Chains A and B, each alone.
Chain A
Amino acid sequence: MIETFGIKLICSKNSCLSPVVCLVVSVSCRLCLVVSCRLCLSPVCLLSSVCLLLSVCLLSSVCLLSSVSVPSTGEVVFCSASTVLKYTQDDLSQRGVFGVLLCTNFRVSFVSDEAPTEEMGQLFKNKLYGENDIPLSCVDNIYGGSEDKRKLITGGLVKNKYPSKMIIHCKDLRVFQFSLSFSKEEDAKKIFQGIVHHCLEPKSLRCLFAFSYCENTSYPEAQRKKQTVMFDSVEDWTQDMKRTKGNCRVVSENSNFELSPKLPQYFIVPKNVSDEDLTKYQGKGLPMWCWSHHSGCALFKTASIPLVQEDNVPQTYMEKMLTAVAHNHLYSVKTEDLSDTLPTVQDILLSYNRFKQFFLIDNTTEFWMSDMKWFSSLDNCGWLDIIRQCLQKAVEVVESLEKENTNVLIMEEGGSDLCCVVSSLVQLMLDPYYRTLLGFQSLVQKEWVAGGHAFLDRSNHLHLKDKVESQSPVFLLFLECVWQLQQQHGPAFQFSETYLTVLSDSIHVPVFTTFLFNNDGHRDSLLRAESPHTQRSPLNCPTVWDWSVQFDCKAQDLFTNPLYTEKPKQDTSVRKSYRPRHLRQLSLPSSAFKTPPKKGFFKDEADNLKKILGVKRLSRWMLSPSSDSPQTSSSVREFYEAWQTKPLDYHGLLLPCLDGPSIRVWMQRYLRWIHDVQILGGGPVAMLSKVSEILGEVQELQRQLDRHGCTLTSNHKGARPRAKTAAAVIAARSSVRLSSSFPFVTSRNWSFKPAIPTSLLQSLMVTGMAGNLADREDDGGPESLV
């Protein structure tokens, strides 16, 4: 299917001077010419005229690679191998499917020799990559296997012996197993080396697929503008502050990154921050406004300034900033150093790495073995506990804002990891706007993208050795927390679980500008530099919010939650823009004046701020607080219980329950690919489809009513417009045929064969809990009658 031509060209890059292998692939009738250097495997640029010439020459011998599911423009194939066996994941037998394994600048792709099965699973097809494609940045680990052993491949040249089996663990938790032993040795070597090289070796940002993709895709910019608020203009920030009735200062002096490339292009600071303050310490210590509570108090975040013992300057500066924050509302402020109280980014990574192993299942036996210690393994990896800690911290901040009406300043080194997690969670809990789909996307834009979360470093797409330390799934942690909230208060969220899962997958699709950069300045400089039209606008790449890049409309219907309780509109006359009114239906009475705060976790500066500022040294209250006092959790507990006794308002304050059984595993994300745990005919989709169905009917009826209302003469029996909701999508297919992995796994492999667990009793026997009880007879005493 793929022809390799021994056309001798000289690889000029890296002066490796080896013959170049030229591949020509036709993808859905679009020709693209691929040239790659056999040894260094870097793509070689050819003059376009040469390309043209070559392509004309080779056209006759080109085979159509029509079954490759994708289309992406700008995609080039680096290497390939045929007769590769892809094992079917769900059993230990060596069965599988033969096909071609390709490595392109976008993905590792397996193209089955068998005719593609046209299935109804096509509904939720990702336009960018198919079920047998792995975007390069989505590759987590590669293992080389021979016989029964497997070895982690860390990159570099594999010497002499190439493993016959390649196992790829993906960041979206898929597991692929390929056997290379049926391919030509040359091909096998090449593909193995190629995949390892492109997935694990350091590369430059320029090599990420986004750049080739965007250069080759004309992308209409206009349409995205009217959706998600991008927070890339003064207006967006001003608008959001107005919406929350904040009273701070919008800073636009950094619009061309004159102040600092590390500071956001636009941001908001307390009114009392002066111009000189803006540039000190490269923006460290500068309180950035996140959100204003209706009482007037607000949430700020900042990157903490490392304290130097002798030097008083940062301390004076910090004191000044704190005063500025305090002045925002009623001279009260609480500070919270997240570095002291939440796990570090390294802890998060370590914990997640342990956690994910439970789901990267190579075979059934392994799965059922791990099933026995499932609960204690969950505890041991600590991932759920980290989620709980983040939620708890957010609840503490919410309590300060909501109950005590103090300003809150959260800080950490860098100010763009856990600060983002906590501040976004606080806003989700307090502000119903952020629980809408567009609101949520705006929140991510505001806190994470504009807020300067180092997406590139945290994901380490580039596999830079010096960035290994900074890798950490912080954004995923945030999505996990959102999922917990959503799980507990379903009807409050307009977006669905599927939406969150897809969003978590999209982090690893290197197409979207959203996740490719470390901050505004970074993005700006790169996009500008890479622009084909240097003089004009910067390179125009899609953001992840352009869901049409990945999914068609029907699939996008699954992003909305059919259970969402929409706020009844008060006035239908004025069509509001995308921002609904800042809804204030608080379930707790907020005091007009400040209540004396409890002794809590926060160091409380409110009561005698002047005294503190005058007398106390900054270092005093920048010290880490006496660690987790039981008082904290009891205070949070009281706050939760007080909230709980009030009637629940989905458009008011939402708090998560943090007790053991309430924090759960995100089943859809983690279990979707594991065959043995797919509930056929069941799972949440069984319920949602029913709900969607009724919702569709209700909408249809409403429509009829409206029609009748408008034109009483119209005949309702005319052609009815179909309700185009998720309802239609799911209800179209009998829910009996769906599984708990819907919509990610198609029911192609539908079988009535249940998964029977192996090795059941072992754990019970090992623990010896049964003791002599187990040996006793069922029935002891004499029978007694009533």
Chain B
Amino acid sequence: MENTGSIDSLGSKRSSSRQPSVDSLSSTSTSRSDRSAHAAKPTFAMSSDNVSISTDFSPELRGRPKAVAKVLRDSKEEPQLLPKESVQDMAKDVTYICPYIGALRGTLTVTNYRLFFKCMDREPAFVLDLPLGVVSRVEKIGGASSRGDVSYGLVCKDIRNLRFAHKQMEDSLRKSIFEILMKCAFPVSNGLTIFAFEYGQVYPENGWKVYDAQAEYKRQGLPNESWRITKVNDHYELCDTYPSTLVVPVNIPDEELKRVAAFRAKGRIPVLSWIHPESQATVIRCSQPMVGVNGKRSKDDEKYLQTIMDANAQSHKLFIFDARPSVNAAANKMKGGGYESEDAYQNAELVFLDIHNIHVMRESLRKLKEVVYPNIEESHWFSNLESTHWLEHIKLILAGALRIADKVESGKTSVVVHCSDGWDRTAQLTSLAMVMLDGHYRTIRGFQVLLEKEWLSFGHRFQLRIGHGDKNHTDADRSPVFLQFIDCVWQMTRQFPAAFEFNEYFLITILDHLYSCLFGTFMCNSEQQRVKEELPKKTVSLWAYINSQPEEFTNPLYVNYSNHVLFPVVSMRHLELWVGYYIRWNPRMRPQEPVHQRYKELLAKRAELQKRVEELQREVTNRSASSSSERAGSPTRSITPVQTFV
């Protein structure tokens, strides 16, 4: 895409939406430099809802620009640096082999935060700019070729691979820039600090204060006559992967909780995630019971679930949703785990949701990447897509959440959700069900609360699943569980375009910063670790950045039907691949102008007209004050043909 970054030079907002999304991380940064050269007004290109450009440096992300110096530097080959960002190495005459444009020769810069490549031969300059956190693996491809070129491949977590080549170093003592890159890209493996701990940008709001467990439970009407907030896990002694604030049945004293914890994997006892404001049906999450091969039982656990059922007077039944395929659940008995037998748990009905484990999901994403990057095979697109099973997994997850939401809403029944440990599939299911059931979680702030609560505080192991700064790319603990969840949310926003306050760009931004290591939000594996590492003190929260410019992430079509339950259709007919995320690097798949764009124009037009009408009205009142007797005959008479559009 030769004209990456020509957004501002074209000067038209409408046209900007068609700017390429290829290497769009870079495209913004170019436009950003143009922008900062023009004025300090940091309005994003309107298009950004669809194009991913989050790991970028919108002016808000960086420190106050020192205007003159920056402008001068922009024409050069270095990136604009964030506060505390420092250049580690720089190499000229590096070739970036773009799968869409071809070989590009330019300057490569590596900082402690990013990789920056700029090719000045093109007009406008081609820029590639990505946070090092995105890099999953750096490898030297082949030996030196006849021309003396060395080639390096970068496998990225955000569905792309980059390839560079440069001349063999004559001075063999000097380290190649890629060796520097390998060091900086994996700070954890190399004893360095992750950049999030250095980034010192100050935002108007402290994003770490977005979620307050007490306040969230209070919003749900808790505690109430059946449910209490317990302090038993204040010091993470009951369960080190759970949050300190837990909601449990009133009738169960803390002592009994400890006995229940002994029967649940990793001590993750059943606790309340969400309560229906009317029926009092609840969504409960936990880990698998330690049944084992001998079918061990726990009176405490049985009583505990009975109490949960009794807390909801509307139903005499309890549904236990085991996210796993029944085969896998049974296999877990060999390792001491298992599932609740309906004999032991009276009035409980067990349902398996057939969602596969993290390894299957990882493999599915790998296949998906093969199908969509760099090029799409036109002729068998759908068959290839089907062979990845990615959307089938999405369907299963959504279907599971749908069944949970349906039981709670239509059946007025409380549900218990677990998988093996209760931090992957369980998090997906409870949070999706809560998005369906509670309109609050469909707002920008509500969604942040949901992530903080169901994912972060309940110990989804982000550090392990993403592998921040860790060079061990083959680690079997890595898995796109959170990506799948965001994908599911995106599927819902497609089906209900007016039901979510946030837009696609918001979701993409979250995913980009999941990897970027710029914010502390997705660091560590549990609340306990975050407290120990003093993340709120040492890092900036992603929500601080997002909430500093909510208009960028707002869906203009949002209609607040907050107490409306959304039941998405989970048929393959309505599921589609999220092109705006998975295929965003392909310039041909650049999103068409979204409706939002057009809609925003309408909103602007409306505002303008309103202003003019008000002005006129003022004038009218002034005049009519002087000559009140005169009236136009019929107000409809002077209607002219409607001419609305911009």
Chain A residues close to B by CB (< 8 Å) = 367-368, 371-376, 378-380, 384-385, 388, 488-491, 563-566, 568-569, 637, 640-641, 644-645, 647-648, 657-662, 664-665, 667, 671, 676-684, 686-687, 689-691, 694-695, 697-699, 701-716, 718-721, 735-736, 740, 752-757, 760-761, 763-764, 767, 769-770, 773-781, 783-786
Contact = CB atoms under 8 A, between A and B. Distances in A.
B14 A647 contact: yes
Contacts of A658: 378
Contact of A713 (B376, B565, B631): B631
Contacts of B396: 760-761, 764
A753 B589 contact: no
26 contacts: A374-B573, A385-B379, A569-B643, A645-B1, A645-B2, A647-B10, A657-B592, A671-B573, A679-B574, A681-B566, A686-B499, A687-B498, A690-B559, A691-B595, A703-B640, A706-B640, A708-B613, A712-B620, A713-B624, A715-B620, A716-B635, A735-B498, A757-B571, A767-B389, A774-B357, A779-B421
B638 A706 contact: yes
Contacts of A665: 573
B620 A713 contact: yes
B410 A752 contact: yes
A786 B529 contact: yes
B613 A704 contact: yes
Nearest to B599: A691
B588 A563 contact: no
Given A648-B15, A686-B499, A786-B194, A764 B605 contact: no
Contact of B354 (A367, A756, A760): A760
A712 B497 contact: no
Nearest to A776: B359
Nearest to B17: A648
Contact of B589 (A565, A657, A689): A657
Interface residues of B, number: 123
Residue of A684, A698, A707 ringed by the most chain B CB atoms within 10 A: A698
Given A681-B566, A691-B599, A705-B609, A388 B639 contact: no
B543 to A, nearest CB: 20
A719 B420 contact: no
Contacts of B619: 708, 712
Residue of B331, B616, B635 ringed by the most chain A CB atoms within 10 A: B635
Contact of A388 (B378, B568, B573, B574): B378
Interface stretch (B115-123, B166-174, B269-277, B380-388): B380-388
Contacts of A736: 561, 564
A781 B12 CA distance: 52
Contact of A757 (B386, B399, B495, B583): B399
B613 A695 contact: no
Contacts of B630: 713
B569 A677 contact: yes
A735 B399 CA distance: 24
B464 interface: yes
B616 A708 contact: yes
Contact of B609 (A374, A667, A702, A783): A702
B483 to A, nearest CB: 16
Contacts of A715: 620, 624, 631-632, 635
A529 B157 CA distance: 72
B382 A679 contact: no
A184 B378 CA distance: 56
A744 to B, nearest CB: 16
Given A754-B567, A776-B359, A667 B573 contact: yes
A753 B567 CA distance: 8
Interface stretch (B207-215, B299-307, B338-346, B401-409): B401-409
A84 B196 CA distance: 72
B588 A681 contact: no
Contacts of B497: 682, 684, 686-687
A712 B325 contact: no
Interface in B577-631: 577, 579, 583, 586-590, 592-593, 595, 598-599, 602-603, 605-606, 609-610, 612-613, 616-617, 619-620, 623-624, 627, 630-631
A501 to B, nearest CB: 16
A710 B609 contact: no
Contacts of A694: 599, 602-603, 606
A783 B619 CA distance: 72
Contact of B577 (A378, A661, A704, A707): A661
A659 B588 contact: yes
Given A375-B385, A702-B609, A756 B399 contact: yes
B600 to A, nearest CB: 10
Contacts of A740: 495, 569
A446 B5 CA distance: 43
Contacts of A712: 616, 619-620, 623
A660 B610 contact: no
Contacts of A707: 632, 635, 638-639
Given A682-B566, A714-B631, A753-B406, 18 more contacts: A375-B386, A385-B379, A488-B592, A563-B598, A645-B20, A647-B15, A661-B376, A664-B576, A689-B498, A701-B610, A706-B640, A707-B635, A711-B638, A713-B620, A736-B561, A754-B568, A780-B475, A783-B461
A770 B561 CA distance: 40
A686 B498 contact: yes
Contact of B410 (A490, A698, A708, A753): A753
B574 A698 contact: no
A694 B498 CA distance: 13
Contacts of B579: 661
Contacts of B590: 644
A238 to B, nearest CB: 28
B620 to A, nearest CB: 6
B110 interface: no
Contact of A752 (B3, B328, B567): B567
B383 A376 contact: yes
A660 B363 contact: no
A767 B529 CA distance: 40
A376 B391 CA distance: 13
Contacts of B529: 785-786
Contact of B588 (A657, A682, A719, A753): A657
A773 B363 contact: yes
A698 B3 contact: no
Interface in B298-322: none
Nearest to A642: B2
Contacts of B160: none
A755 B568 CA distance: 9
A780 B378 contact: no
A777 B357 CA distance: 8
Contact of B639 (A667, A678, A721): A721
Contacts of A681: 496, 499, 561, 564, 566
Given A491-B593, A657-B588, A662-B589, A374 B557 contact: no
B644 A719 contact: no
B476 A697 contact: no
Nearest to B636: A721
Contacts of A691: 557, 595, 598-599, 602
B295 to A, nearest CB: 20
Contact of A764 (B380, B392, B524): B392
B551 interface: no
A684 B382 CA distance: 23
A710 B638 contact: yes
Nearest to B497: A687
B533 interface: yes
B639 A565 contact: no
A503 B384 CA distance: 34
A777 to B, nearest CB: 7
Contacts of B541: none
